[in-house]
Structure 1
């Protein structure tokens, strides 16, 4: 027993010693090893550039959000150069006091009044998010299951389905402007002359239709990737056990495709929450279609620090919604990737 075990232990000790020598005496890992220093040298410039390009603007915007904007001081009637410390004034301005625009201007509400431009934009954006994502998931699931089947011309169908997603959003929006025009394609087909973007309900419906048409292929593509990871033997076993099509979908397809579906829903929800170009091209944010991003861009034209506060609020809101969605779907990607 000792004759066999002693050479094995000796060889193992030699291997550990050689690994220590190759790793610079630190076990082959860490920043003090040769590989760790090389990784630091290679990643260092990139991290510095990211800190300058991404980190600095974010920190500066948060700092600016606590300062005043240039303009007339309501208390003195004199012009204020701005950039003075304002505390959370810009935040309370949006959350509590900024009322809907009246006659091209703004009306100051009593403290606690939540009927503001910000909250109107929040509810509109959340409404777009819920409606579009639900419709896109249903249609995307149907498209994915259709593309997953083996039939002649399947590659052509997949390409045709993905074309709307590949076209830039601004181009898609201009296309739908032509379709929804009073003299456009849709009214010619229906034999009417209705102005689809002139009222709140039809204008919102037009944005939902355009967004669903554009981005449903994205969800279909992610779900299709999840479907291709399911073995056909599972379905064959279920058929042998007497499971019908609905039971196979509910008991097999949906649970196994849940990770891909969770990623699709989270990414699409975050995408709609920051939607700007599609509603702006279609309606310029009028008739009850102003999203949070449109409100931020409008505020940037006149009040930079106030817009910075609004952007920070928007970031916190979107981050909170993303956290809720991750918890809801139990999509712990990091843990699943390390198992």
Structure 2
């Protein structure tokens, strides 16, 4: 028998290669991006009139994004004029948060409905599950082009319903189009994770509830929702983090411009890199990382998104089970001969 200390050392040696690979693949890019965010981009020196490289910039890039702080040609600090990429930062943050809240809410509702349908007992259930997961299997770029054709000026939506809506130019119409496409694409993902939670609920729990006279709505509120909550919150967490870094769907469907009505903060990063401002783009990437980290921390710490599964291992008090055990005990007493 191995001692506990030896088992711990053996486990550490076994997982060390994987941790080393993760440190290189994940840790190094994060550290490198943070380092670059404090370095100056290649710029024009007003004294010499030539371009100079790098140097320590401190918090200049972060102030550039957060406060629209720019450097004038004369070397003075001033507010960024219209057209500078930093002026699109806060509108992009608002649009990103708006997309996140609306899409995750709709996907959670639709995902729960689809999961309940897929969890039922009926003929053709396998075919229904396969059909529901088709949108999730389609690549995002293909999905974006598909919905771009549907929402074209003379596309299916306008022709079918007799509308004259500019889905790609009107701000709120464009945002609605992106939301519809994103919900259609990722609601099956939510349904898949919720379905996994539903299948972990014992069938006898519902039998006990029916014996106690609970109707379907009471079973859903008192049994299904409490027991599926861990899987539901993990699904919401994953989808929220994914929505915060949305990029390809609005870019392909609407526009890649940073001042488009559907521009997200990820678009600003790509646009800044295209302008060869790699260090300020690193600062914006760091801000996105901090935003995602904060949201993940809040959801895990305060909203019950348990990604470790430890809470699922705890014994839960299931409605109706106490009364069922009591009734079973009474039946056993009656069966015992006097």
Give the structure-2-normalised TM-score. 0.82
Task: Map 1:290-305 to 2 at 5 A.
Answer: 290-302=263-275, 303-305=277-279
Which of 227, 241, 249 is residue 278 of structure 1 equivalent to?
Answer: 249
- 1:289: which partner in 2? 262
Unaligned runs of 5+ in 2: 71-77, 315-338
Counterpart CA distance in 2 for 1:260 and 1:337 is 9
The one-character-per-residue Cα deviations of 1:286-310 (angstroms, maximum 9, x if unpaired) are: 5321111111111111200000000
- 1:327: which partner in 2? 301
Please report how far the alpha carbon of residue 168 of structure 1 lies from its aligned counterpart in structure 2 after TM superposition: 0.6
Tell me whether 1:164 sits opposite 2:164 in the alignment.
no
Pair 1:332–1:160, CA change in 2 (3 A): closer
Counterpart CA distance in 2 for 1:298 and 1:211 is 22
- Relative contact order: is structure 1 or structure 2 higher (C-alpha 8 Å, sep ≥ 6)? 2
- 1:151: which partner in 2? 122
- 2:176: which partner in 1? 205
- 2:154: which partner in 1? 183
Which of 284, 290, 296 is residue 316 of structure 1 equivalent to?
Answer: 290
Please report how far the alpha carbon of residue 179 of structure 1 lies from its aligned counterpart in structure 2 after TM superposition: 0.4
Do 1:70 and 1:81's aligned partners in 2 also have CA atoms closer than 8 Å?
yes
Which range is displaced more, 295-304 or 47-56? 47-56
Which structure is larger by alpha-carbon Rg, 1 or 2? 1
Tell me whether 1:29 sits opposite 2:2 in the alignment.
no
Which of 26, 35, 55 is residue 27 of structure 2 equivalent to?
Answer: 55
Determine helix, strand or coil for the equivalent of 2:79.
coil
The one-character-per-residue Cα deviations of 1:174-221 (angstroms, maximum 9, x if unpaired) are: 100110111211122112343211111000000000000000001111
Counterpart CA distance in 2 for 1:226 and 1:72 is 58
Determine helix, strand or coil for the equivalent of 2:6.
coil
Which of 223, 230, 243 is residue 252 of structure 1 equivalent to?
Answer: 223
Pair 1:234–1:47, CA change in 2 (3 A): closer
Do 1:137 and 1:216's aligned partners in 2 also have CA atoms closer than 8 Å?
yes
Tell me whether 1:128 sits opposite 2:106 in the alignment.
no
Determine helix, strand or coil for the equivalent of 1:128.
helix
Do 1:132 and 1:212's aligned partners in 2 also have CA atoms closer than 8 Å?
yes
Counterpart CA distance in 1 for 2:306 and 2:187 is 24
Do 2:118 and 2:129's aligned partners in 1 also have CA atoms closer than 8 Å?
yes
Please report how far the alpha carbon of residue 58 of structure 1 lies from its aligned counterpart in structure 2 after TM superposition: 2.0
- 1:224: which partner in 2? 195
Counterpart CA distance in 1 for 2:38 and 2:200 is 50
Please report how far the alpha carbon of residue 245 of structure 1 lies from its aligned counterpart in structure 2 after TM superposition: 1.9
Please report how far the alpha carbon of residue 43 of structure 1 lies from its aligned counterpart in structure 2 after TM superposition: 4.5
Please report how far the alpha carbon of residue 242 of structure 1 lies from its aligned counterpart in structure 2 after TM superposition: 2.1
Please report how far the alpha carbon of residue 118 of structure 1 lies from its aligned counterpart in structure 2 after TM superposition: 1.5
Do 2:158 and 2:165's aligned partners in 1 also have CA atoms closer than 8 Å?
yes
Determine helix, strand or coil for the equivalent of 2:106.
helix
Do 2:233 and 2:306's aligned partners in 1 also have CA atoms closer than 8 Å?
no
Unaligned runs of 5+ in 1: 1-18, 100-106
Counterpart CA distance in 2 for 1:196 and 1:30 is 59
Counterpart CA distance in 2 for 1:233 and 1:57 is 50
Do 2:245 and 2:265's aligned partners in 1 also have CA atoms closer than 8 Å?
yes
- 1:336: which partner in 2? 311
Determine helix, strand or coil for the equivalent of 1:257.
helix
Please report how far the alpha carbon of residue 328 of structure 1 lies from its aligned counterpart in structure 2 after TM superposition: 3.3
Counterpart CA distance in 2 for 1:44 and 1:237 is 48
Give the structure-1-normalised TM-score. 0.82
